[in-house]
Amino acid sequence: MEKELRLIDVNKKYKLSNKDYFQALYDINVEFEKGELVSIVGESGSGKSTLMNLIGGLDSEYTGQIIAGGQDLSKLKEKELDNYRKNKVGFVFQSFNLISHLSILDNVTLAMTLSNVGEKERVEKATKILKMVGLENQLKKKPTQLSGGQKQRVAIARALINDPEIIIADEPTGALDSGTSLQILEILKEIADSGKLVIMVTHSEKVASISSRVVEISDGKIVSDRRNENYQKNASTFESQNLEEDPSKKGKQKQNLSFWSSIRLSLHNMWASKVKNFLMAFGVSIGIGSLILMMCFSSGITDFIDNTMKSYSNPQIVTITKKGEGNIQDVMQFNPFTDEEKNELITGINQYLDEEGISFELTEDDITPGFGMMAIATGAKVLYNPTGEGYGDEFSDPIPNEELESEAIYYLYSVPPYYSETNIIAGEMGSATGGLMFTQGINNLVGENPIGKEVKVTFTIRVGNNSRPVEVVDKICGIMDTSIMSNFMVLYVDYDYLASIFAEEGVSDSFAPTTYYIKTDSEETTKAINDYLFSTNKYSGSIEDQLEGMFTSMSKTIGTSLVVISSISLFVSAMMILVVLYMSVSERTKEIGVLKSIGARRKDIKRIFSSESFLIGLLSGIFGIIFNLILTGVVYLILQNTIGLAPISYRWWYFAVAIGVSLVISVISGLYPASKAAKLDPVEALRRE
């Protein structure tokens, strides 16, 4: 009859260094049959565990042959050896080696989970086996809630779950008191009596005396092999239970650990160290949250420019100002064109249009002058008399108005030709004979309805080294909505009216066009003229254009710096995940050994660890979104309350980016720890204390 297990000339050497070996087993020749309860005895260090690991397919570095159930283990591929461990042998360890974060039921069914057996079948079978070892009421408990004897019963149930032919128990009673030891031994005996081969390592004479055969090892050699003639084979409860599987289902066991099972296992493990995982996800979420904030800024500024600028521009008007030198405040101050400069401009444009073959000919008639300056640069203020009695000569007591002085106007402008009645949101346009138009900020100064109220505006014109005050006293005739400029306090005055004010004040020599508006015949001409102006590097466009440019470059600067900052923080996050997962691999070495002993493949272990990093990524992404919403809210409030403008907009896909980026980071960071876990040597892993 074919023996269940045969070892032929087995030699095992442990490699100590490149040159040194330690031989742990010498020429082992031994055969075992089904139904035997074998005790392996021998002094510590004699090679018992080494032998068990070879038989169990955990260690494949040996010479000679081990033939189990007709299979020559030395010829099996890694995958086949995994299957051998999964289906043909069951391990029981001295220190139980249960996975502490899994319930008893999950510990027992783990080997089936690895084979992707359905939950119903798993639970049914595990319940049945746990009942046989006397633990039918403990399914939901965790290993720490059991006594040593109970834990060892769970381990036995786990070893039996895939109905193996061979049970290997390395000092199964070593950690138990003698009474409990006997109970465990009883169970192992029953298993043997049901027709399985049970090989156990023991130090106990008593345990050995109960077994059917005692093999003694000394210094790596079998020194005696005795059969117990008095061994009584009993009727076994294990025999009466039908552990046979439906043969049609056996084929299915080729399947790997499923995605959902690995997620479930990872969730259990993550829950077991929830504080660590929570903190880690929180750490990652800071990077993710700031990344999204950056994107919100960038789109917010784009939206702001789009909404406020684009809808106002007139494609057939070109705005030309002189490009100032120096800082932005100098640029926006009073900087008028001289007559020569004007002529040079006209000639230049016409020449360019000619060269480009555009038929438009620019004449004086197409040009409208404009005046504009950044009033705040030189000092300007609006005074308002709440009694409604007006200013002029009667204005003698500035004290009640003092608080208004802080509300300076930012810009003084003649009304550009591209603004019309449609830009008036209250009141009406001013004319050549009078009327002041403000942007909405004036409401803060004079109350809800400013139309018809009289104000005094003073500002300073600087010509060369001379500063000259100009004073305007007039009624507010209209409130304008003027694109981007509405965000500033701007006073718009009709160009001719402004000229007459300067004349009246005796400073008409300080009044000259700072801006020219050209009415073109087509968008094409507009574009050509703009191209020319740009190429000269001597002119800029309207204040709106300049502000748009400023905002765009600002958004780019903010964007890049935030990208840099968030990349650094994302990199730090990645390192953090890597370190934490790496440490978790060390912490779980024993668990990985157990998983391997019950037939987990490298792939399965990789999958368990990868799904953990996947889950950490998912969690971090969700935390990142929450963190971002809070952060954005705070930033929005701060900006609104300080500069009155918070260019922040969301796109729905930013949230997808948050989840995506955090998944990518954590999955990539998890690759190395996962592959390290998968490569762990099971024998070493199990030997680890």
Choices 47-55, 243-251, 429-437, 543-551; region in contact with Mg ion by CB under 5 A: 47-55
Task: Write down the least CB distance from residue 48 to ligand ADP, Å.
Answer: 3
3-state secondary structure at position 566: helix
Structure tokens at 642: 């300080």
The strand pair at 37-41 and 197-201 is best described as parallel
Given ligand ADP, Mg ion, none, residue 26, with its beta carbon under 5 to 8 Å by kind, binds none
Is the Cβ of residue 49 or residue 181 nearer to ligand ADP in the bound state?
Answer: 49
Element (H, E) at 169: strand 166-170
How many of the chain's residues bind Mg ion (CB under 5 A)?
1
Task: Write down the least CB distance from residue 682 to ligand ADP, Å.
Answer: 12
Query: Of these, 25, 30, 42, 49, which contacts Mg ion (CB under 5 A)?
Result: 49
Is the Cβ of residue 50 or residue 113 nearer to ligand ADP in the bound state?
Answer: 50
Element (H, E) at 92: strand 89-93
Q: Between residue 289 and residue 308, which ones bind ligand ADP under the rule CB under 6 A?
A: none
Is the Cβ of residue 16 or residue 275 nearer to ligand ADP in the bound state?
Answer: 16
Task: Write down the least CB distance from residue 46 to Mg ion, Å.
Answer: 9
Question: CA 61 from chain center: how many Å?
Answer: 43
Please check whether residue 581 is in contact with residue 612, taking contact to mean a CB–CB distance below 8 angstroms. Answer: yes
- Determine, following the binding rule CB under 6 A, whether residue 46 of this chain makes contact with ligand ADP: yes
Given ligand ADP, Mg ion, none, residue 24, with its beta carbon under 5 to 8 Å by kind, binds ligand ADP
DSSP secondary structure, 430-463, as one string: -BTTB-EEEETTHHHHH-S--TT-EEEEEEEEEE
Is the Cβ of residue 133 or residue 683 nearer to Mg ion in the bound state?
Answer: 683
Task: Write down the least CB distance from residue 199 to Mg ion, Å.
Answer: 13
Query: Of these, 39, 50, 319, 401, which contacts ligand ADP (CB under 6 A)?
Result: 50
Structure tokens at 23: 């031989």
Distance, in Å, from the CA atom of 592 to the CA atom of 384, rounded to the nearest integer, reads 81
Distance, in Å, from the CA atom of 26 to the CA atom of 225, rounded to the nearest integer, reads 16
- Determine, following the binding rule CB under 6 A, whether residue 47 of this chain makes contact with ligand ADP: yes
Task: Write down the least CB distance from residue 46 to ligand ADP, Å.
Answer: 4
Q: Which DSSP category does 258 fall into?
A: P
Is the Cβ of residue 44 or residue 642 nearer to ligand ADP in the bound state?
Answer: 44
Distance, in Å, from the CA atom of 587 to the CA atom of 594, rounded to the nearest integer, reads 13
Q: Between residue 80 and residue 119, which ones bind ligand ADP under the rule CB under 6 A?
A: none
Distance, in Å, from the CA atom of 171 to the CA atom of 563, rounded to the nearest integer, reads 59
Choices 48-56, 133-141, 379-387, 445-453; region in contact with ligand ADP by CB under 6 A: 48-56
- Determine, following the binding rule CB under 6 A, whether residue 39 of this chain makes contact with ligand ADP: no
- Determine, following the binding rule CB under 6 A, whether residue 14 of this chain makes contact with ligand ADP: yes
Distance, in Å, from the CA atom of 580 to the CA atom of 285, rounded to the nearest integer, reads 16
499-523: b or e for each residue (b if 16 or more CB lie within 10 Å)? bbbbeebebeebbbbbbbbbbbeee
- Determine, following the binding rule CB under 5 A, whether residue 277 of this chain makes contact with Mg ion: no
Is the Cβ of residue 170 or residue 604 nearer to ligand ADP in the bound state?
Answer: 170
Choices 40-48, 379-387, 442-450, 607-615; region in contact with ligand ADP by CB under 6 A: 40-48
Distance, in Å, from the CA atom of 197 to the CA atom of 52, rounded to the nearest integer, reads 13
- Determine, following the binding rule CB under 6 A, whether residue 22 of this chain makes contact with ligand ADP: yes
Q: What is the Cα Rg of the chain in Å?
A: 44
- Determine, following the binding rule CB under 5 A, whether residue 39 of this chain makes contact with Mg ion: no
Given Mg ion, ligand ADP, none, residue 406, with its beta carbon under 5 to 8 Å by kind, binds none
- Determine, following the binding rule CB under 6 A, whether residue 45 of this chain makes contact with ligand ADP: yes
Is the Cβ of residue 172 or residue 621 nearer to Mg ion in the bound state?
Answer: 172
Is the Cβ of residue 176 or residue 501 nearer to Mg ion in the bound state?
Answer: 176
Task: Write down the least CB distance from residue 203 to ligand ADP, Å.
Answer: 9
Report the alpha-carbon angle 161-163-164, nearest 5.
Answer: 115
Which amino acid would we find at residue 316?
Answer: Q
- Determine, following the binding rule CB under 6 A, whether residue 430 of this chain makes contact with ligand ADP: no
Show the DSSP H helices in 537-601 as ranges. 543-587, 589-597
Distance, in Å, from the CA atom of 162 to the CA atom of 196, rounded to the nearest integer, reads 13
Task: Write down the least CB distance from residue 60 to ligand ADP, Å.
Answer: 14
Please check whether residue 320 is in contact with residue 539, taking contact to mean a CB–CB distance below 8 angstroms. Answer: yes
Query: Of these, 17, 44, 137, 641, which contacts ligand ADP (CB under 6 A)?
Result: 44
Query: Of these, 10, 24, 129, 598, which contacts ligand ADP (CB under 6 A)?
Result: 24
Name which of 421, 561, 439 is nearest 492 in CA terms: 439
Choices 46-54, 99-107, 273-281, 295-303; region in contact with ligand ADP by CB under 6 A: 46-54
Choices 48-56, 95-103, 276-284, 543-551; region in contact with Mg ion by CB under 5 A: 48-56
Place of tokens 């930012």: 410
Nearest residue to ligand ADP, using CB?
A: 49
Please check whether residue 174 is in contact with residue 92, taking contact to mean a CB–CB distance below 8 angstroms. Answer: no
Is the Cβ of residue 49 or residue 83 nearer to Mg ion in the bound state?
Answer: 49
- Determine, following the binding rule CB under 6 A, whether residue 48 of this chain makes contact with ligand ADP: yes
16: exposed, middle or buried (Cβ count in 10 Å: 0-12, 13-18, 19+): exposed
Place of tokens 């003694």: 216
The strand pair at 454-463 and 466-480 is best described as antiparallel
Please check whether residue 250 is in contact with residue 259, taking contact to mean a CB–CB distance below 8 angstroms. Answer: no
How many of the chain's residues bind ligand ADP (CB under 6 A)?
12
Given Mg ion, ligand ADP, none, residue 22, with its beta carbon under 5 to 8 Å by kind, binds ligand ADP
Given Mg ion, ligand ADP, none, residue 399, with its beta carbon under 5 to 8 Å by kind, binds none
Choices 37-45, 229-237, 345-353, 514-522; region in contact with ligand ADP by CB under 6 A: 37-45
Q: Which DSSP category does 133 fall into?
A: T
Choices 39-47, 54-62, 318-326, 547-555; region in contact with ligand ADP by CB under 6 A: 39-47
Given Mg ion, ligand ADP, none, residue 315, with its beta carbon under 5 to 8 Å by kind, binds none
Distance, in Å, from the CA atom of 345 to the CA atom of 438, rounded to the nearest integer, reads 31
Nearest residue to Mg ion, using CB?
A: 49
Given ligand ADP, Mg ion, none, residue 682, with its beta carbon under 5 to 8 Å by kind, binds none
Choices 14-22, 291-299, 443-451, 661-669; region in contact with ligand ADP by CB under 6 A: 14-22
Choices 45-53, 82-90, 161-169, 176-184; region in contact with Mg ion by CB under 5 A: 45-53
Is the Cβ of residue 24 or residue 543 nearer to ligand ADP in the bound state?
Answer: 24
Three-state SS sequence of 23-76: EEEEEEEEEECCCCEEEEECCCCCCHHHHHHHHCCCCCCCEEEEEECCEEHHHC
Is the Cβ of residue 20 or residue 421 nearer to ligand ADP in the bound state?
Answer: 20
Name which of 186, 191, 194 is nearest 210 in CA terms: 186
- Determine, following the binding rule CB under 5 A, whether residue 290 of this chain makes contact with Mg ion: no
Show the DSSP H helices in 313-459 as ranges. 328-331, 339-355, 375-378, 442-446
Which amino acid would we find at residue 354?
Answer: D
Distance, in Å, from the CA atom of 487 to the CA atom of 481, rounded to the nearest integer, reads 9
- Which parts of this chain interact with Mg ion (CB under 5 A)? 49
Residues forming the site for ligand ADP (CB under 6 A) = 14, 16, 22, 24, 42, 44-50
